[in-house]
Amino acid sequence: MAQKLTDRTVLDPLLSAGWRLVEGRDAIRKEFVFADFVTAFGWMTQVAICAEKLDHHPEWVNVYKMVSVTLSTHDIDGLSDLDIELAQKMDALA
């Protein structure tokens, strides 16, 4: 089972890369903007495969070429190493 983050410094590189803490919740959020809908959807498909392998799924909304993502580990009601790993994969795939 995932454990809540105790070392919050692991968030620093993500915060520098455009991720933001969600007010009122132990979560991070980022908005990804792509060239068009097909590119956004293709990225979501790649992320979905990674998420399935991690058994850790994002909250996300897609509107045309924009994908808004929120990450938090629901089982522990907060951020875990799974959120960090998935955020890093999302950034690498973008």
**pLDDT tens, 33-50?**
999 999 999 999 999 999
Residue 20 lies in a domain: no
The reply to whether 53 falls in a domain is yes
pLDDT digits (tens, 9 = 90+) for 32-91: 999 999 999 999 999 999 999 999 999 999 999 999 999 999 999 999 999 999 999 999
Q: Could you tell me the sign of the dihedral formed by the alpha carbons of 87, 25, 76, 9, in that order?
A: positive
Q: What's the structural domain count of the chain?
A: 1
Question: Would 48 be classed as within a structural domain?
Answer: yes
User: Residue 71 belongs to a domain with what CATH number?
Assistant: 3.30.1360.20
Q: Which residue do the tokens 């959120």 mark? A: 83
Does the residue 16 lie in any domain? no
User: What burial letters (b/e) apply to 5-15, b meaning 16+ CB within 10 Å?
Assistant: beeeeebeebe
Token reading at 64:
């045309």
Which residue range is the domain that position 51 belongs to? 26-93
Directed axis angle between helix 37-54 and helix 81-93, to 10°?
A: 150
**88 lies in a domain?**
yes
